[in-house]
């Protein structure tokens, strides 16, 4: 899920802020104790998942949106996404500490949307602290959006997060990478532009569990912030993978990835077909938005928040195709 898109500007990659403390620029200091652990479920041996709730990300009482996971190896822990605020990150940390005393060695972000990355800073403590791992394009994309995410946080939540509350990758993946948690290998794969331009999946070999990030939405309407045609191509590849279970970016864990991804593929294919037909028939964008205002949205939550912008994104993408 996402916030309103930011204007393009020259991307800068900021250095990671290992050791950054979780402090707001104003207000009370972060609580040192009595943090309520996020509820998590062990969905396979050593694989823990917190399921976020279906609503649009918002700074106040709306930051627990995305699914979050952590995987415990013999030597250390890998975290997969960190939630939509530093406070959620703190609660994630408490949830991990309830399960194991092993250190977090990797914080992996599946893409740059704020509901997945704004908890990063809470995991930064420790010596040497974790490596932050993401798609090679996450840094530039997050850097371009971060001012808008911070502004939304201040505006809606009344909390001014310091710019260094946004933590950037220290290790990037351009294609594939393997991480070792001590007797437990994770396979990371960076995908071509789909949901965003920096989607990354995480596969736990030991249990056959695939964390898809927002390449897979269930229940929550899929949100196009990358490329519709690219996303459909990636879905085709995901369907061919041999995995035992999939953890979507939003929605419930599934033991049948092909089946789970079906409704998303149907929705995106419908948007592609109908918008393409409208463009071909010379229908202007405003009328296309009206005509397709409910097309393909049956059964999805948050269509009011995201369908119209999906149509707009699709129209802009398809308008100039051959
Ligand atoms: Zn997303």
Is 14 contained in some domain?
A: no
pLDDT, mean over the chain: 89
Residue 176 resides in a domain: yes
- What is the model's pLDDT at position 63? 84
CA-to-CA separations, 95 to 35, 45, 90, in angstroms, rounded: 9, 16, 9
For residue 60, is pLDDT > 70? no
Taking only the tens place, the pLDDT of each residue in 183-194 is 999 999 999 999
Q: Please tell me the distance between residue 296's alpha carbon and the centre of ligand 1 in angstroms.
A: 20
Specify if 180 maps to a domain.
yes
- C-alpha pair distances (Å), 172 with each of 1, 73, 106, 149, 191: 22, 21, 12, 22, 13
Looking at residue 157, what is its pLDDT?
Answer: 77
Q: What is the pLDDT of residue 57?
A: 76
Measure 101 CA to ligand 1 centroid, in angstroms. 30
Exposure class string for 83-101: b at 16+ Cβ within 10 A, else e: bbbbbbbbbbbbbbeeeee
The pLDDT, as a whole number, for residue 321 is: 84
- Cα 114 to middle of ligand 1, angstroms: 8
Strand partners, 180: 185
CA of 305 from ligand 1 middle (Å) equals 14
Q: Which tens digit of pLDDT belongs to each residue from 220-278? A: 999 999 999 999 999 999 999 999 999 999 999 999 999 999 999 999 999 999 999 99
Position 162 confidence tier, pLDDT thresholds 50, 70, 90? confident
Of residues 176, 57, 160, the one with CA closest to residue 117: 57
Residue 80 lies inside a defined structural domain of this protein = yes
Residue 21's pLDDT band (cuts 50, 70, 90):
very low
Q: Name beta bridge partners: 77.
A: 72, 104
Determine the distance separating the centroid of ligand 1 and the alpha carbon of 29, expressed in angstroms.
Answer: 29
pLDDT band at 32 (very low <50, low <70, confident <90, very high): low
Cα 115 to averaged position of ligand 1 atoms, centre (Å): 7
Is 101 a member of any domain?
A: yes
Going from the Cα of 112 to the center of ligand 1, the distance in angstroms, rounded, reads 7
Cis, peptide link before residue 128, omega less than 30° from 0: yes
Burial pattern 156-187, b for ≥16 Cβ within 10 A else e, equals bbebebbebbbbbbbebbeeebebebeebebe
pLDDT of residue 139: 98
Phi and psi torsions of 64, nearest 5°: -95, 75
Residue 14 predicted with pLDDT over 60:
no
Structure-model confidence comparison of residues 154 and 246, the more confident one: 246
Report how far residue 115's alpha carbon sits from residue 53's, in angstroms, rounded to the nearest whole number: 11
The CATH code of the domain that includes 178 is 3.60.15.10
d(CA 76, ligand 1 centre) in Å: 27
Domain annotation covers residue 224:
no
Task: Please check whether residue 152 lies inside any domain of the structure.
Answer: yes
Using the mean position of ligand 1's atoms as its centre, give its distance from the Cα of residue 19 in Å. 26
pLDDT of residue 53: 87
User: Is there a domain that residue 114 lies in?
Assistant: yes
Q: 127 C-alpha to center of ligand 1: Å?
A: 30
Number of separate domains in the chain: 1
Domain that holds residue 150: 41-207
Residue 74 has pLDDT above 50, yes or no: yes
């Amino acid at each position: 899920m996402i916030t309103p898109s930011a204007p393009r500007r020259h991307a800068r990659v900021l250095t990671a802020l290992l050791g950054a403390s979780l402090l707001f620029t104003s207000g009370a200091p972060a609580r040192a104790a009595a943090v309520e652990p996020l509820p998590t479920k062990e969905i396979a041996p050593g694989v823990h998942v917190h399921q976020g709730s279906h609503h649009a990300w918002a700074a106040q009482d709306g930051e627990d949106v995305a699914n979050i996971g952590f995987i415990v190896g013999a030597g250390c822990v890998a975290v997969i996404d960190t939630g939509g605020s530093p406070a959620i990150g703190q609660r994630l940390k408490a949830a991990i500490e309830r399960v194991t005393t092993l250190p977090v060695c990797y914080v992996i972000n599946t893409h740059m949307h704020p509901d997945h990355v704004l908890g990063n800073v809470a995991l930064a403590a420790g010596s040497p602290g974790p490596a932050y791992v993401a798609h090679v394009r996450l840094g530039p994309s997050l850097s371009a959006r971060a001012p808008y995410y911070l502004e939304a946080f201040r505006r809606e939540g009344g909390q001014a997060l310091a710019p260094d509350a946004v933590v950037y990758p220290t290790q990037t993946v351009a294609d594939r990478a393997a991480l070792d948690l001590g007797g437990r290998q994770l396979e990371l794969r960076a995908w071509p532009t789909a949901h965003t331009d920096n989607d990354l999946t995480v596969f736990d070999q030991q249990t056959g569990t695939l964390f898809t990030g927002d390449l897979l939405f269930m229940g929550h309407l899929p949100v196009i912030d990358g490329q519709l045609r690219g996303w459909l191509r990636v879905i085709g590849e995901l369907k061919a993978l041999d995995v035992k279970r999939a953890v979507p970016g939003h929605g419930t864990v599934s033991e049948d990835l092909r089946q789970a991804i079906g409704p998303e593929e149907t929705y995106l294919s419908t948007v592609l077909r109908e918008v393409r037909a409208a463009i071909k028939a010379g229908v202007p964008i405003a009328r296309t938005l009206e005509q397709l205002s409910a097309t393909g949205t049956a059964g999805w939550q948050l269509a009011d928040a995201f369908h119209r912008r999906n149509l707009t994104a699709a129209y802009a993408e398809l308008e100039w195709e051959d």
